[in-house]
Amino acid sequence: MSDVVSVTRDGDVAVVTIDNPPVNALSHAVRKGVFDAMAALREDSEVKAIVLACAGRTFSAGADITEFGKPPQPPALIEMINAIEAMPKPVVAALHGTVLGGGFEVALGCHHRIAAPGTRVGLPEVKLGILPGAGGTQRLPRLIGAIEALKIIVSGDPVPAEEALKFGAIDEIATGDLTQAAVALAKKVGAEGKEPARVSDRDDKLADVKADPTAFNEAAGKLTARARGLEAPHACVEAVKWSFELPIEEGLKREREAFMKLVAGDQSKAQRHLFFAERQAAKVLDMPKGTKPRAVDKVAVIGAGTMGGGISMNFANAGIPVTIVETSQEALDRGFGTIEKNYNISVSRGRMTEADVRQRMSLLTGSTDMNDVADADLIIEAVFEEMDIKKQIFSKLDEIAKPTAVLATNTSYLDVNAIANMTKRPSSVLGTHFFSPANVMKLLEIVRGAETAPDVLATVIDVGRKIKKVPVVVGVCFGFVGNRMLRARSLETERLLLEGATPQQVDKAITGFGFPMGPFAMGDLAGLDIGWRIRKQMGATADGGRADIADALCEMGRFGQKTGRGFYIYEKGARAGIPDPEVEALIVETAAKQGIERREIGDEEIVERLIYPMISEGAKILEEGVAQRPGDIDVVWVNGYGFPVWRGGPMFYADQVGLKHVRNRLAHYAEVSGNAALKPAPLLDRLADEGSTFAAYGREKERTA
């Protein structure tokens, strides 16, 4: 008996219960408790079978990741699992909640698995840059076949019990009380008196791949096709291969070695940083304790354009009805048409059924009368990016919205406070900055205005989670966290062209760094005309910098992919651009006109000049308090802008590279180019002098908050 593991009896069945709230993480005390309980029950002749269960809201949801990187305390998880599997009497795992990672590996070490309805099982280790290191890669293939196991292990996504039952990952779904059902099963198998059915002893499900691994290799290729730059998914494939190439002891040994290697590597450190950062990012340091979110049962969205449509889909997907308001029936029809088209794409990819689409569409109501938003709990404005229109809309909303409604703007750059001040209730106003395509992109920047009330903030954080976004709370400034840093990068991209680089060279250096796309390909995809129009409206300097090449391209009608030409040429239907000599000539000519002598520019300089100014801007954002923590900035860039996950986000990356190096390189570029915008931010300068890190700065801020 220990504090976290207890043993009770039900006739000749012993029930071993782990009780380590909140998620029964497999801490040292739990491992030792279970290990000792098994040792005692092994010798107990009155016990014929054992049930392993967990108290609280879930079976074990995995290892205790706070123990990662610390000296291991025996018994290791794998020793505990091996001890369970080696028991001479049957052990039944009683599963409920989210049985993940080490928790599922424990279940695989048991001889039978029974689950409550609604249970989900999975091995999400890959998402932390590691692989299941306690037998998961060796036992799951033996239990359900190598290809099915590979899908679960490489995706890291949890599987509902009903599906797990189909391919044999669990044996039974309990009806009625789970523990009683598990005890009944234990009594039955205990009475049979047979040698327990150990997953390690099986190889019937591996016969196919042993005979011919072609299908396995094909599946592996598909599953890792999108894992650019990531080590863990490839390591998972290797490990699953060992399950049918090697005896179990050898497979387990290699799995352990691969796990140790990944866990000590930079990629896993970056991914674990992001795992914690995502959970932190929605926590508001000065949120009064006990702040309750308002209920959001009805939503209204103003504008059915690119963003309004996508935003509405998120709520429909979560079962929340939405009223969408447009200026004309025609605009509504167009918006609804796009939504339906997007849903149908999901159907054609097998991610949704037609009935799902009908159900979701039935939650969306169109209107051309603004008064129809009067009963909405949350109203999100997503009209053109023009202050005057937004101001008009908010004064109207102030007249008609119910007193408890939360009023949000999806603006990309505009001053949320100025918008809030158009109402007599600025405490109910804030920004919800979704990213395009809004039904897909995970990031939700929640822009807190000067007067936004805590419960209004809490409401949007809460609903953000419900619609499966990653909420990050940020403050008001031009472009908030993401677009403000993007702008710092954009200012350098054109300068690189004028100084000697080509668009393709810049893009290649940035994809080489790990972004899915380079800035010029991205510009072509999004449409070069957007920035061009803004620059024309605001005057070139209002944007803080000129974009002579992009402007010249737009003057030529080259708006990017949609016109077939931009920085690249796009042949009919092609998404990948081809370099265009005409663009290169334009760059050379513009540079000559501006008296800039072009030179060879290496990839390293490109990366430094595009990433380091962003880091410096991030430092300003931190010091101003626009972001609460460095990790929040990382979460924004990884989830909204394709910063490579395995580099942990720009601020984490800066700490890895060393702030002194980042500062010195920026100071160097500022000096040789005479461009003051490249000067390192004061905070970066100070931390570099102190030999400190953004992480240390963030911890100190959190401590004193």
Active site residue ranges: 105, 125
Question: Nearer Cβ to ligand NAD, position 290 or 384?
Answer: 384
Question: Nearer Cβ to ligand NAD, position 64 or 524?
Answer: 524
Give alpha helix (H) positions in 323-425: 329-348, 354-362, 387-400, 416-420
- Cα 602 to chain center, whole Å? 32
- Provide the sign of the torsion angle of the four alpha carbons 464, 469, 470, 476, taken in this order: negative
Whole-angstrom distance, CA of residue 565 vs CA of residue 570: 6
| Candidate segments 8-16, 62-70, 157-165, 379-387, binder of ligand NAD by CB under 6 A | 379-387
Of positions 303, 475, 648, 680, contacts ligand NAD by CB under 6 A: 303
| Candidate segments 178-186, 247-255, 325-333, 612-620, binder of ligand NAD by CB under 6 A | 325-333
At 516, list the tokens.
Answer: 């899915």
Q: Does 170 engage in binding with ligand NAD (CB under 6 A)? A: no
Of positions 326, 524, 551, 634, contacts ligand NAD by CB under 6 A: 326
Whole-angstrom distance, CA of residue 529 vs CA of residue 89: 71
Assess whether the previous peptide bond of 75 is cis (omega < 30° from 0): yes
Q: Does 496 engage in binding with ligand NAD (CB under 6 A)? A: no
| Candidate segments 213-221, 320-328, 556-564, 642-650, binder of ligand NAD by CB under 6 A | 320-328
| Candidate segments 83-91, 143-151, 350-358, 410-418, binder of ligand NAD by CB under 6 A | 410-418
Question: Nearer Cβ to ligand NAD, position 180 or 327?
Answer: 327
Q: Does 485 engage in binding with ligand NAD (CB under 6 A)? A: no
Q: How far is the CB of 483 from ligand NAD (least distance, A)?
A: 8
Whole-angstrom distance, CA of residue 447 vs CA of residue 474: 5
How many binding residues for ligand NAD (CB under 6 A)?
23
Whole-angstrom distance, CA of residue 502 vs CA of residue 347: 40
Of positions 46, 70, 88, 384, contacts ligand NAD by CB under 6 A: 384
Of positions 30, 37, 383, 678, contacts ligand NAD by CB under 6 A: 383
Q: How far is the CB of 306 from ligand NAD (least distance, A)?
A: 4
Question: Nearer Cβ to ligand NAD, position 187 or 535?
Answer: 535
Whole-angstrom distance, CA of residue 286 vs CA of residue 629: 13
Q: Does 325 engage in binding with ligand NAD (CB under 6 A)? A: yes
Q: Does 398 engage in binding with ligand NAD (CB under 6 A)? A: no
* Burial of 590: CB neighbours in 10 Å, binned 0-12, 13-18, 19+: middle
Question: Nearer Cβ to ligand NAD, position 434 or 568?
Answer: 434
Q: Does 91 engage in binding with ligand NAD (CB under 6 A)? A: no
Closest CA to 654 of 645, 646, 643, 663: 663
Q: How far is the CB of 399 from ligand NAD (least distance, A)?
A: 14
Question: Nearer Cβ to ligand NAD, position 265 or 305?
Answer: 305
Angle at 175 between CA 194 and CA 80, to 5 degrees: 50
Of positions 103, 233, 293, 308, contacts ligand NAD by CB under 6 A: 308
Closest CA to 460 of 488, 431, 435: 431
| Candidate segments 131-139, 376-384, 492-500, 587-595, binder of ligand NAD by CB under 6 A | 376-384
Q: How far is the CB of 606 from ligand NAD (least distance, A)?
A: 25
Whole-angstrom distance, CA of residue 514 vs CA of residue 510: 7
Q: How far is the CB of 518 from ligand NAD (least distance, A)?
A: 18
Name beta bridge partners: 366: 324
Q: Does 571 engage in binding with ligand NAD (CB under 6 A)? A: no
Q: How far is the CB of 270 from ligand NAD (least distance, A)?
A: 26
How many angstroms separate the Cα of 146 from the Cα of each of 117, 150, 209, 216, 586? 26, 6, 7, 7, 55
| Candidate segments 319-327, 371-379, 548-556, 649-657, binder of ligand NAD by CB under 6 A | 319-327
Q: How far is the CB of 528 from ligand NAD (least distance, A)?
A: 14
Whole-angstrom distance, CA of residue 514 vs CA of residue 497: 21
- The DSSP code for 432 is E
Q: Does 561 engage in binding with ligand NAD (CB under 6 A)? A: no
Q: Does 531 engage in binding with ligand NAD (CB under 6 A)? A: no
Bridging pattern class, strands 13-18 and 112-115: unpaired
* Burial of 646: CB neighbours in 10 Å, binned 0-12, 13-18, 19+: buried
Of positions 184, 389, 657, 667, contacts ligand NAD by CB under 6 A: 389
Question: Nearer Cβ to ligand NAD, position 354 or 399?
Answer: 399
Q: Does 304 engage in binding with ligand NAD (CB under 6 A)? A: yes
- Provide the sign of the torsion angle of the four alpha carbons 178, 181, 183, 186, taken in this order: negative
Whole-angstrom distance, CA of residue 432 vs CA of residue 411: 8
Question: Nearer Cβ to ligand NAD, position 200 or 412?
Answer: 412
Question: Nearer Cβ to ligand NAD, position 304 or 322?
Answer: 304
Q: How far is the CB of 439 from ligand NAD (least distance, A)?
A: 12
| Candidate segments 314-322, 352-360, 383-391, 543-551, binder of ligand NAD by CB under 6 A | 383-391
Of positions 54, 219, 220, 307, contacts ligand NAD by CB under 6 A: 307
Contact 359, 343 (CB under 8 A): no
Question: Nearer Cβ to ligand NAD, position 133 or 640?
Answer: 640
At 497, list the tokens.
Answer: 């062209």
Map residue 174 onto helix, strand or coil. Answer: coil
Q: Does 312 engage in binding with ligand NAD (CB under 6 A)? A: no
Q: Does 563 engage in binding with ligand NAD (CB under 6 A)? A: no
Q: Does 305 engage in binding with ligand NAD (CB under 6 A)? A: yes
Of positions 2, 224, 291, 306, contacts ligand NAD by CB under 6 A: 306
Q: How far is the CB of 326 from ligand NAD (least distance, A)?
A: 5
Of positions 67, 238, 385, 451, contacts ligand NAD by CB under 6 A: 385
Whole-angstrom distance, CA of residue 700 vs CA of residue 423: 37
Q: How far is the CB of 431 from ligand NAD (least distance, A)?
A: 10
Whole-angstrom distance, CA of residue 704 vs CA of residue 689: 22
Tokens 């007249």 correspond to: 399
Whole-angstrom distance, CA of residue 391 vs CA of residue 396: 9
Contact 335, 305 (CB under 8 A): yes
| Candidate segments 118-126, 409-417, 505-513, 626-634, binder of ligand NAD by CB under 6 A | 409-417
Q: Does 395 engage in binding with ligand NAD (CB under 6 A)? A: no
Question: Nearer Cβ to ligand NAD, position 271 or 411?
Answer: 411
Q: Does 359 engage in binding with ligand NAD (CB under 6 A)? A: no
Whole-angstrom distance, CA of residue 217 vs CA of residue 657: 36
Whole-angstrom distance, CA of residue 603 vs CA of residue 101: 39
Rg (CA), the chain: 28
Q: Does 65 engage in binding with ligand NAD (CB under 6 A)? A: no
Q: Does 410 engage in binding with ligand NAD (CB under 6 A)? A: yes
Map residue 371 onto helix, strand or coil. Answer: helix
Q: How far is the CB of 432 from ligand NAD (least distance, A)?
A: 10
Of positions 26, 331, 587, 636, contacts ligand NAD by CB under 6 A: 331
H, E, C per residue of 88-134: CCCEEEEECCEEECHHHHHHHHCCEEEECCCCEEECHHHHHCCCCCC
CB-based contacts of 448: which residues, under 8 Å, 6+ apart?
Answer: 284, 430, 431, 457, 473, 474, 475, 476
Contact 220, 149 (CB under 8 A): no
Contacts to ligand NAD by CB under 6 A: 302-308, 325-327, 331, 382-385, 389, 393, 410-412, 434-436
